[in-house]
């Protein structure tokens, strides 16, 4: 891989963000809005005496991390859609840029955007609800990594589907996390789910990460079992996503869809 080509992909999206307010809004608006909504809920529960100790940390911490996961997955696919919307896909294919270099550039720029969005959400939680997420950060970094890898896998899969089936399914970019969320146990433990849903939930890295978050916040210590399970599942999903992307890309190329994607 050539670092200058990866840097060119990053620069292209930085330039786009400077001249497209929508990109900046997506990075900051939804993470901050999630915290505002969940923050008001915690205030409501506190005023009515229904707030157990540690519940604020559970709810707001989970909202911050889920917003990070959703934004990272979404922005990976949206970055490719930006090339489609600007009719720049053929231009990319005409350059020496490889798929690996392109995906590496997208990964770098969207990781930066996810960090900015998460930091903004954590700052709002601190300023308006006196919830300090940062002391938990070091302990939660391994679980954040689990979420990022799974977000990468989902983003790669959705991008591959767009390459193969064009913008007819671009709504998956925003809706797929909605399908995953009920099984991810973001705001409730696995035990709250019906019996038939629990095996499906435990098969997701997101569930392992949020169960680990709850254990850390509750003072139960760091769960190595949850971490290793999450990383193992990440590896399976990432390999499957990369293989699917490769197959979808080759299918689109054979069918001539790459020059007609819109």
Alpha carbon distance 59, 57 (integer Å): 6
Q: What is the pLDDT of residue 88?
A: 76
**Is 106 inside any structural domain?**
yes
**Is 259 inside any structural domain?**
no
**Is 260 inside any structural domain?**
no
Give tens-digit pLDDT for 60-76.
Answer: 888 888 888 988 888 88
Q: Using CA atoms in the order 6, 11, 12, 17, what is the torsion angle rounded to 10 degrees?
A: 130
Residue numbers of the domain that contains 23: 3-254
Contact (CB, 8 A) for 226 and 205: no
Residue 2's nearest CA partner among 97, 90, 109 is 97
**Is 137 inside any structural domain?**
yes
Q: What is the pLDDT of residue 170?
A: 80
**Is 261 inside any structural domain?**
no
Q: Which residues contact 102 (CB under 8 A, 6 or more apart)?
A: 9, 92
Alpha carbon distance 154, 238 (integer Å): 8
Contact (CB, 8 A) for 117 and 35: no
**Is 90 inside any structural domain?**
yes
Contact (CB, 8 A) for 241 and 63: no
Q: What is the pLDDT of residue 208?
A: 95
**Is 262 inside any structural domain?**
no
Q: What is the pLDDT of residue 10?
A: 82
For the chain, residues with pLDDT lower than 70 are 21-24, 46, 48-57, 257-262
For 159, phi and psi rounded to 5 degrees?
-60, -45
Q: What is the pLDDT of residue 50?
A: 58
Ramachandran sector of residue 256 (left: φ over 0; alpha: ψ -120 to 50; beta: rest): left
Q: What is the pLDDT of residue 258?
A: 67
Number of domains in the chain: 1
Burial label, 220 (beta-carbon count in 10 A; 0-12, 13-18, 19+): exposed
Alpha carbon distance 173, 178 (integer Å): 10
């Amino acid at each position: 891989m050539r670092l200058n080509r990866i840097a060119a992909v990053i620069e292209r999206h930085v330039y786009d963000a400077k001249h497209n307010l929508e990109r900046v809004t997506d990075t900051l608006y939804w993470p901050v809005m999630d915290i505002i909504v969940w923050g008001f809920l915690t205030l409501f529960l506190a005023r009515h005496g229904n707030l157990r100790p540690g519940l604020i940390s559970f709810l707001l911490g989970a909202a911050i991390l889920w917003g990070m996961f959703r934004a990272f997955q979404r922005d990976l696919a949206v970055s490719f859609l930006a090339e489609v919307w600007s009719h720049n896909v053929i231009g990319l294919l005409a350059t020496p840029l490889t798929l690996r270099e392109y995906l590496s550039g997208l990964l770098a720029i969207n990781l930066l955007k996810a960090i900015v969005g998460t930091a903004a959400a954590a700052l709002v939680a601190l300023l308006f609800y006196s919830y300090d997420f940062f002391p938990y950060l070091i302990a939660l970094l391994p679980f954040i990594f689990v979420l990022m890898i799974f977000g990468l896998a989902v983003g790669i899969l959705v991008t591959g589907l767009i390459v193969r089936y064009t913008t007819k399914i671009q709504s998956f970019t925003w809706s797929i996390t909605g399908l995953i969320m009920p099984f991810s146990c973001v705001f409730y433990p696995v035990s709250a789910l019906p019996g038939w849903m629990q095996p499906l939930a435990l098969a997701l890295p997101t569930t392992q990460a949020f169960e680990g978050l709850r254990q850390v916040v509750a003072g139960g210590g760091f769960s190595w079992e949850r971490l290793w399970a999450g990383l193992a599942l990440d590896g399976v999903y990432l390999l499957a996503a990369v293989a699917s992307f490769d197959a979808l890309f080759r299918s689109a190329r054979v069918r001539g869809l790459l020059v007609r994607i819109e």
